[in-house]
Amino acid sequence: MVTSRRYLIASSLARLIRKERGGNRVTEGHFPNQADRSSFVVVEGDKGSLVLVHASASGPIEERTEVPRAHAEALLDVTPGKLDYLLTHLTVGTRDIQILRFVTPGPLDLISVSFESEDEARDFRPLSWFGADVTTEVPYQNRSIALEGAPQAPDVPMSNAALNSLLDALENRYVAPRGYTAHHAPTRNQAEQGGGQRNAPPPPPPAAQANERPAAPQRGVLSRPAAPAETDMHEDDNNDDNDLNLNIEDNVIRELARSLRPQRR
């Protein structure tokens, strides 16, 4: 079941989005409330729709039927509640976010985000340029705005971080909020516990670092061909106290080889 959440947005940020992405004008006309259902008509561009919303145990169910624009405009004339807003679409990551700028019956800027399920909606983390969540507040629903008027538009705080986040979204440089971090590199303990990696040979040093090695042997840098991993480990175990001049890179390789050595039973 499709569900949505609504957030406030600073009017200056909404204006910036409209300037960059434009918007389509949408008109809705709402009929009076009924016991178990509600209905409204929508006109957007050259399309018209009649929408019936039924109440159910799992939430409201919406049925939308396209009608000729002339019929939709005729229905608009007899609806007691009307509203007009500019609808702008903004893609952030893989999600479509709608910015609504209400013009009639009064000025108001909102963000609307749709989800395929309630679980997906609960897991969603709003971006830093989103204002307060007003999903459950009736005065911010389209039907209430059309029939009872728009609520007074509150001041929405705006920070420099929020503006930069929005500019990144407009420039298609979306950065996921904290908490959505991809997998991290395994620690030494995790590498030792990974049975599938115990017998894997240590990775070779990066090409970029290899190219930076000086051509002539220097003190503390191995000038002979590298020995097998097991030989290096035994030699290092015997000479750790005396070999004080090994450079940092050799120490890293040796530690990685030791962590990947098969466990003796």
pLDDT for 251 = 55
Q: Are residue 145 and residue 192 in the same domain, yes or no? A: no
So what's the pLDDT on residue 232?
42
- Domain membership flag for residue 265: no
How many domains does the chain contain in total?
Answer: 2
Q: Count CB atoms within 10 A of the CB of residue 255.
A: 13
Query: Cα–Cα–Cα angle for 77, 100, 52, nearest 5°?
Result: 45
Find out whether 19 and 149 touch, Cβ atoms under 8 Å: no
Same-domain status, 195 and 164: no
Residues 108 and 207 in one domain: no
Is residue 81 assigned to a domain?
A: yes
Taking each helix axis from N to C end, the angle separating 160-170 and 11-21, rounded to the nearest 10 degrees, works out to 20
In a domain, 181, yes or no: no
Q: Are residues 118 and 230 in the same domain?
A: no
What confidence score (pLDDT) does residue 103 get? 94
Instruction: With respect to residue 231, please indicate whether it lies within any of the assigned structural domains.
Output: yes
The sheet with strand 47-54 has its strands ordered as 3-8, 108-115, 95-104, 81-92, 24-30, 37-44, 47-54, 61-67
Write down the pLDDT at residue 242: 44
Flag whether 175 is in a domain: no
- CA–CA gap between residue 3 and residue 112 (Å, rounded): 10
From first to last of its 265 residues, what are the pLDDT tens digits of the chain? 678 999 999 999 999 999 999 999 999 999 998 878 899 999 999 999 999 998 877 777 889 999 999 999 999 999 999 999 999 999 887 889 999 999 999 999 999 999 988 888 888 999 999 999 999 999 999 999 999 999 988 889 888 988 898 998 888 765 555 443 333 344 444 444 444 444 455 555 554 444 444 444 444 333 334 444 444 444 444 444 444 444 444 554 555 555 555 555 4
Q: Which of 170, 198, 228 marks a domain boundary? A: 170
Distances (CA, A) of 110 to 14, 33, 195: 8, 23, 52
Whether 163 and 43 share a structural domain: yes
pLDDT given for residue 182 in this prediction: 36
Do 20 and 59 belong together in one domain?
Answer: yes
* CATH code: domain of residue 87: 2.40.320.10
Q: Is residue 178 part of a domain?
A: no
pLDDT tens track for 104-137: 999 999 999 999 888 888 889 999 999 999 999 9
Establish if 106 belongs to a structural domain: yes
Structural domain harbouring 220: 188-259
Domain stops at, among 104, 136, 170: 170
pLDDT value at position 141? 95
Q: Are 40 and 48 spatial neighbours (Cβ–Cβ below 8 Å)?
A: no
Domain boundary among 120, 138, 170: 170
Q: Domain check: are 31 and 152 in the same one?
A: yes
Establish if 130 belongs to a structural domain. Answer: yes
DSSP string computed for 23-78: -EEEEEEEPPP-SSEEEEEEEETTEEEEEEEE--TTS-EEEEEEE-HHHHHHHHTT
| 80 and 205 together in one domain | no
What pLDDT score does 75 carry? 95
Same domain as 201, residue 121: no
The DSSP code for 139 is G
102 and 220, same domain (yes or no): no
**Co-location of 102 and 164 in the same domain:** yes
Tokens of 234: 């035994």
* 87 and 202 fall within a common domain: no
